Amino acid sequence: MELTKKILWFLFALAAIGVGLYPIAYFFAVVRQNSLLATKSWELLMSNAYMTAFYTHISSGGLALLTGWSQFLRSWRNKYLTFHRYLGYFYVTAVFTSSISGFIIAFYSTGGTTGVFCFGSLAVLWFGTNALALISINPSLWQNSFPIKRKFFH
């Protein structure tokens, strides 16, 4: 791998890990008071359903970002195939959980109708592309799908 590609991969991994670790900050009171949650109404913040969906979204989304980038490293995939598979199923579970909870909290976006539509669409697209990836790697769900996975996800 040439130096430029290595640098870009390093920056990609660093960004994914950095954003993946960010949800940890929401578990500290000071950050909560000066974050996205500060823009929400008191009634919404007192809603167990909203707060559960919010924390589920950021936690599982963070885990997906922490693990997902490594799935694209061909050398790791070839060397540790079993680990790659288990990590892939973990990633798929994290994305499904995060996208479903993200769709729920999208309806409470502070961006108005545009925000609701955009965040909701992003959740649906994340769920859908994740479902396509899962179907493409599991022959019992869809026969002869490996070329599709390689075309869209590698």
Residues 92, 133: contact at Cβ < 8 Å? yes
pLDDT over 90 at 145, yes or no: no
Three-class secondary structure assignment of 110-123? CCHHHHHHHHHHHH
Domain coordinates in residue numbering, the chain = 3-153
6-59 pLDDT, tens digit per residue, is 899 899 999 999 989 888 887 776 566 667 787 888 898 889 999 999 999 999
| pLDDT bracket for residue 141 (50, 70, 90) | low
pLDDT over 90 at 121, yes or no: yes
Three-class secondary structure assignment of 30-58? HHHHCCHHHHCCHHHHCCHHHHHHHHHHH
pTM of the model: 0.81
| pLDDT bracket for residue 151 (50, 70, 90) | low
61-98 pLDDT, tens digit per residue, is 999 999 998 888 888 888 998 898 899 999 999 999 99
pLDDT over 90 at 132, yes or no: no
Q: How many C-beta neighbours within 10 Å does residue 41 have?
A: 11
